[in-house]
Structure 1
Amino acid sequence: MFLQLLLSSGLFMSELAIGTSFNSTQAPTGFPPCDALIQAGLGKSILLPTEPSYADRVDSYWSLNSRQHPFCIVQPRNAKEVATSMTALLGADKAGDWHIAIRSGGHNSGGANNIDNGVTIDLMHLDQATYDKETNLASVGPGAKWMDVYAKLAKHDVLVTGGRDGDVGVGGFLLGGGSTFFMGTEGFGCDAVKNYEIVLTNGTIVNANDKENSDLWLALKGGGSNFGIVTRYDMEALPNTKLSYKLRSINITHAVQIASNFVDFTDNYEKFTNDALVLYLTHNATIIKESMVGTIQVNTQGKINSTGFAKLDKIPDIKPAPYEHVTLAEAAAGSQVAGGVWMCEATLTFSNTKGLMKKAINMHEQYVKDLKKAIGEENFTTMFFFQPMPTMFGDISKKRGGNMIGFDLEEKNSVLWTAGVEIKTNQQDRIYAQSLMNKMAADLKSYSKSVGGATDLVYLNYADTTQDPLGSYGANNVNYLKRVAERYDPEELFQTRFPLGFKISSVDS
């Protein structure tokens, strides 16, 4: 009755007309952490679930795994606002079960960059990519995507050693190490970082480089999300030379032959340091009923028909694919893995031998058979990658100040194996596919041990949430990371209030 009187009198509509809204980010939300952000002056930077832009931002995550729904999303516009966001959230009422997530690019298979019970700090506005000619440093924001970074830096005729998939974000990629086309000369992507600007849990903004907070600088090079929120990466720039680029699709009958050439290439990498090679297996029934094998062949100096690929180039393609001259920006923009599906992944390394490569290929084919039987071949797409990991990569990293990845501990050339599968149906099928994948990874690890080909590294950027990449770095590096975390975050807030991702506190010394 009272509502009818309001409507008939026009009072209710006049209240709406002057701007009163249940979605106002200046009014209390009922969620203590979101209210703390408003009280800290960040009301205009918050997205609430009642706003269309909130849903749009959730839907922008690459995988369905990550499309969770926080109480609110805060989008700081600079390092100072990141600090304000962090201190406001850490100072909020901790009653109940809620935590904090951090998003950079949003390209993750789940478990690291979004949260249901809590608040997500979204770094999308920290997307700068600038260049200082005097220092030859490119300053890159964590919320930028690599294809945009390359396009912006190309205006200055430079590039940085970043991701190959243009949709991948800067922050997670560099904190996990970063595999690039330039590994043979520059090492991991993180090896090019000369300075980090980082917000610590006490709200201070510091720089970490080889002279200032040098222990933190080293820890951030592969140490993951354990110390604070990085708001800027200052990276050494390289000339923006065009790549020689070739993406091939080959009949699966040639898989073992290609794997043999891959092993030879890896063992002779020092002769072809400007070359980059990725071997992949894929099964996509919407394209072809059987699996395919393919390669990505790149020369970073634009050399066509590098002798490093001579043997591979003799193997026929399903459809002829010539070498092309492309910029890194063009290659990244054209190499985006489509999202919007459920994702599974796992990774490990093993010795660079033809026997282990053949075993991994056979395991892929068995995995495809098992998934066909369980969920139907039209409901999944596999993508298994093999990347060279010769010991020379560790030598390059050492010369550039070192990193935490622990690959420098390896005494033999290795292969980085990464299994991925897209599930198009539902969460139950995803869990089934992930369980099969974890079993396959365990079997491959066990087999590699049985033939003397096991290696330790679990690469953080490709690891499943059940794996332990930080623990694979070696006892000395683990203890180093623990000491640095204790120094810069003595209350362990980043370990407890920011629980997502791989945390050093959960690793045994």
Structure 2
Amino acid sequence: MLSLTTVLLGSGLILRANAFVLPFRSPTSCCSLLNAEFNGDPEPKVFSNTPLQATEYESLSTYWTPAARLNPTCIFTPTNTQDVARAVKLFTRKNCQFAIRSGGHSYNPGWAGITDGVLISLYGLNTISYDPIHGLASIGAGNRWTDVYGALLEHNVTVLGGRNSDLGVGGYLTGGGISYYSNDRGWATDNIFSVEIVLADGKVITASRHEHKELFRCIKGGSNNYGVITKFVLETVDASKPFNAFAIGFPATSNNDFISHAYEYCTNGSDADPKSHIIFAASISKVDGFANGILGSYSDVFDAANPAPVLRPFFDGTVPGNAPGFLSANGTIKVATDLLSIVQAPGTRYAMGTFSVYADIQLFHTLRGIWEEETTEELKDKPGFMTEFAFQPIGEKWLAASAAKGGNSFGITSPLVMVWLQPRWDSALDDAMMVEYTDRVRVRCEQAAKAAGKFARFRHLNYGGRNQRNEIIPSFGAANVLRMQLNKLHYDPLNVFGRLVPGGFKIPGF
């Protein structure tokens, strides 16, 4: 049974859950129980790594980055919400550990996978429908954005979704979700109208701004802590106008001009023209050396010879040496995101780490200097090595759009700049070195930001590294953490999605 102790510390309420439970049931036994539960179904839904099921098991075990792959004892493939409810109820009753995967795009092993346990693969929950009267799209949690964009563009609408169309819907939305439309419409998670969620006891409820509204707010940034979301109903965006996405490279000699105009966009440009969207990045590799670059978009008619003022410095030579390329030129968001999914094809090993700062031009130089210094020749010599250091602003209009829709769990009260580091490499033998490198750069950068008085508390969940497990949700602030804790106690009092779902970023105390 679960003992819950409430401890008052200062002005904050800290909830500490201490579980006194029977040992976890063996994963082999759990898979047998699951097989028995669904034995009468017309098609198999439980797959193990046996000679008879090896092909299906292998195809269901793929992840965007092999660095995140684990081998579950068996894989469960529900085709509807009631399948999920039956399975979760069984896992709760029998004390079986499990993991939940929508698209499998997480960088971190165990976040959407498990070794000794059951993997729930939601890919069969792939329905998509559009309600033109209310302007809402109903999306099964197992979809990938390429299918969502394709289905909705037939109605001249789209939704706030991944910039890489291969991402799964579920983890992206519950982690926040940065969209090409975010400067105008806020976080993708704030454009959720409602969710259908399976709770630990197998009960299925709908959460929205009108029912279970406190849970609904906690889900927006709550990841896998409250239940298994099987369906999202999303607000839609008019897609009748052309959509443009572009990638522009700049040489190392452009550094000063590049950072200067990046700073200008971060402090003014994203609010001045919210149809625009830019990620500022730099990369280092042994073959190509150092380069600057942007990934950007414009959600209206676009002329590269006469771009919108906030984009002009990156096209007209003000930032010298530009080499532009288009993912979509007056096309569609599906074309743009599908092409990016090809550029960012699965199969490469990645790690990630993130933090946030308040915009400061000198700090931008300092942070990139730390990253360059830590990117040693030993790292560059590793097969397939490349490292990227990127930042992106969250402006006033982004925050206002999110607040107007009821808010989320993030606790951001003023504009800031998200920063993230992403190395990639080929060999599993180098995994530990790359994770250590990522953490070392991140910690040094955070120290520099704090010394400059420009460190921002927030850390974006979808960019969090495997060693930031205890940093992400606490970065949302005490009031939001408390709200999440209280709703956790109400909706998951036995902490099933903490104890039995070991992966992911967890709510403190659970």
* TM-score normalised by structure 2 residue count: 0.88
Q: How is 1:485-496 mapped onto 2 (pairs within 5 angstroms)? A: 485-496=488-499
Q: Distance in 2 between matches of 1:381 and 1:460?
A: 23
Q: Distance in 1 between matches of 2:192 and 2:403?
A: 13
More strand, by proportion: 2
The residue that corresponds to 2:137 in the other structure is 138
The residue that corresponds to 2:325 in the other structure is 321
Gaps of 5+ in 1: 1-28
For the 8 Å contact 1:249–1:295, the answer to whether it is kept is: yes
Change in Cα spacing, 1:318 to 1:52, as seen in structure 2 (3 Å) is farther
The residue that corresponds to 1:463 in the other structure is 464
Q: How is 1:305-454 mapped onto 2 (pairs within 5 angstroms)? A: 305-313=307-315, 314=317, 315-317=319-321, 319-321=323-325, 324-336=329-341, 337-368=344-375, 370=376, 372-374=377-379, 376-407=381-412, 409-410=413-414, 413-427=415-429, 429-454=430-455
User: 90, 93, 112: which one pairs with 1:91?
Assistant: 93
The residue that corresponds to 2:252 in the other structure is 252
Q: Distance in 1 between matches of 2:293 and 2:90?
A: 49
1:103 aligns with 2:101: yes
Change in Cα spacing, 1:357 to 1:301, as seen in structure 2 (3 Å) is same
Q: Distance in 1 between matches of 2:433 and 2:427?
A: 12
1:35 aligns with 2:32: yes
Q: Deviations over 1:325-371 (max 9, x none)?
A: 12111111011212323221100001111111111222232233x1x
How many angstroms does 1:312 deviate by?
A: 2.1
For the 8 Å contact 2:164–2:340, the answer to whether it is kept is: yes
Q: Distance in 2 between matches of 1:291 and 1:199?
A: 47
Q: Distance in 1 between matches of 2:332 and 2:309?
A: 21
For the 8 Å contact 2:99–2:117, the answer to whether it is kept is: yes
SS of 2:279 mapped into structure 1: strand
How many angstroms does 1:150 deviate by?
A: 0.5
The residue that corresponds to 2:505 in the other structure is 502
User: 82, 103, 108: which one pairs with 1:80?
Assistant: 82
Task: Give, as a single letter, the amino acid of the residue that structure 2 aligns with 1:69.
Answer: N
Question: Identity over aligned residues, as a percent?
Answer: 25
Q: Distance in 2 between matches of 1:58 and 1:66?
A: 14
For the 8 Å contact 2:243–2:332, the answer to whether it is kept is: yes
Task: Give, as a single letter, the amino acid of the residue that structure 2 aligns with 1:326.
Answer: G
The residue that corresponds to 1:16 in the other structure is none
SS of 2:456 mapped into structure 1: coil
Task: Give, as a single letter, the amino acid of the residue that structure 2 aligns with 1:204.
Answer: K
For the 8 Å contact 2:137–2:233, the answer to whether it is kept is: yes
How many angstroms does 1:55 deviate by?
A: 4.1
1:474 aligns with 2:477: yes
Change in Cα spacing, 1:30 to 1:247, as seen in structure 2 (3 Å) is closer
Task: Give, as a single letter, the amino acid of the residue that structure 1 aligns with 2:460.
Answer: Y
How many angstroms does 1:457 deviate by?
A: 0.5
Change in Cα spacing, 1:387 to 1:132, as seen in structure 2 (3 Å) is same
The residue that corresponds to 1:261 in the other structure is 261
The residue that corresponds to 2:207 in the other structure is 208
Task: Give, as a single letter, the amino acid of the residue that structure 1 aligns with 2:127.
Answer: Q
Q: Distance in 2 between matches of 1:63 and 1:156?
A: 33
How many angstroms does 1:129 deviate by?
A: 2.1
SS of 1:379 mapped into structure 2: coil
The residue that corresponds to 1:6 in the other structure is none
Q: Distance in 2 between matches of 1:505 and 1:450?
A: 27
For the 8 Å contact 2:370–2:444, the answer to whether it is kept is: no
For the 8 Å contact 1:36–1:89, the answer to whether it is kept is: no
The residue that corresponds to 2:23 in the other structure is none
The residue that corresponds to 1:66 in the other structure is 68
Change in Cα spacing, 1:320 to 1:403, as seen in structure 2 (3 Å) is closer
Task: Give, as a single letter, the amino acid of the residue that structure 2 aligns with 1:35.
Answer: S
1:47 aligns with 2:47: yes
Q: Distance in 2 between matches of 1:374 and 1:153?
A: 44
How many angstroms does 1:499 deviate by?
A: 1.6
Task: Give, as a single letter, the amino acid of the residue that structure 1 aligns with 2:248.
Answer: R
How many angstroms does 1:317 deviate by?
A: 4.2
Q: Deviations over 1:416-473 (max 9, x none)?
A: 111011121124x121121121111111111111111111001000001221111000
Change in Cα spacing, 1:188 to 1:30, as seen in structure 2 (3 Å) is closer
SS of 1:31 mapped into structure 2: helix
For the 8 Å contact 1:105–1:142, the answer to whether it is kept is: no
SS of 2:119 mapped into structure 1: strand
Change in Cα spacing, 1:30 to 1:233, as seen in structure 2 (3 Å) is closer
Q: Distance in 1 between matches of 2:432 and 2:424?
A: 12
How many angstroms does 1:153 deviate by?
A: 1.1
SS of 2:266 mapped into structure 1: helix
SS of 2:38 mapped into structure 1: helix
How many angstroms does 1:257 deviate by?
A: 1.5
Change in Cα spacing, 1:138 to 1:104, as seen in structure 2 (3 Å) is same
Q: Distance in 1 between matches of 2:216 and 2:293?
A: 37
SS of 2:223 mapped into structure 1: coil
Task: Give, as a single letter, the amino acid of the residue that structure 2 aligns with 1:328.
Answer: I
The residue that corresponds to 1:114 in the other structure is 113
SS of 1:196 mapped into structure 2: strand
Task: Give, as a single letter, the amino acid of the residue that structure 1 aligns with 2:423.
Answer: V
For the 8 Å contact 1:495–1:505, the answer to whether it is kept is: no
For the 8 Å contact 1:284–1:380, the answer to whether it is kept is: yes
How many angstroms does 1:506 deviate by?
A: 4.0
How many angstroms does 1:156 deviate by?
A: 1.6
Q: How is 1:148-163 mapped onto 2 (pairs within 5 angstroms)? A: 148-163=147-162
Between 168-177 and 83-92, the greater mean CA deviation after superposition: 83-92
Q: Distance in 1 between matches of 2:83 and 2:279?
A: 40
Q: Distance in 2 between matches of 1:70 and 1:173?
A: 22
Q: Deviations over 1:237-282 (max 9, x none)?
A: 1111321222111112212321211111121132111110111112
Q: Distance in 2 between matches of 1:461 and 1:252?
A: 29
Structure 1 or 2, whichever has the larger Rg, is 1
How many angstroms does 1:505 deviate by?
A: 3.8
SS of 2:289 mapped into structure 1: coil
SS of 1:114 mapped into structure 2: coil
How many angstroms does 1:377 deviate by?
A: 4.9
For the 8 Å contact 1:105–1:170, the answer to whether it is kept is: yes
How many angstroms does 1:495 deviate by?
A: 1.3
Q: Deviations over 1:71-113 (max 9, x none)?
A: 1000000101010111122223x4xxx6210000011112300
SS of 2:467 mapped into structure 1: coil
Q: Distance in 2 between matches of 1:155 and 1:218?
A: 31
Task: Give, as a single letter, the amino acid of the residue that structure 1 aligns with 2:434.
Answer: A
SS of 2:466 mapped into structure 1: coil
Between 272-281 and 454-463, the greater mean CA deviation after superposition: 272-281
For the 8 Å contact 1:350–1:414, the answer to whether it is kept is: yes
SS of 1:307 mapped into structure 2: coil
* TM-score normalised by structure 1 residue count: 0.88
How many angstroms does 1:200 deviate by?
A: 0.5
For the 8 Å contact 2:383–2:427, the answer to whether it is kept is: no
Task: Give, as a single letter, the amino acid of the residue that structure 2 aligns with 1:39.
Answer: A
Task: Give, as a single letter, the amino acid of the residue that structure 2 aligns with 1:230.
Answer: I
Q: Distance in 1 between matches of 2:130 and 2:379?
A: 51
Task: Give, as a single letter, the amino acid of the residue that structure 2 aligns with 1:308.
Answer: V
Between 65-74 and 168-177, the greater mean CA deviation after superposition: 65-74
SS of 1:306 mapped into structure 2: coil
Q: Distance in 1 between matches of 2:325 and 2:464?
A: 32
The residue that corresponds to 1:178 in the other structure is 177
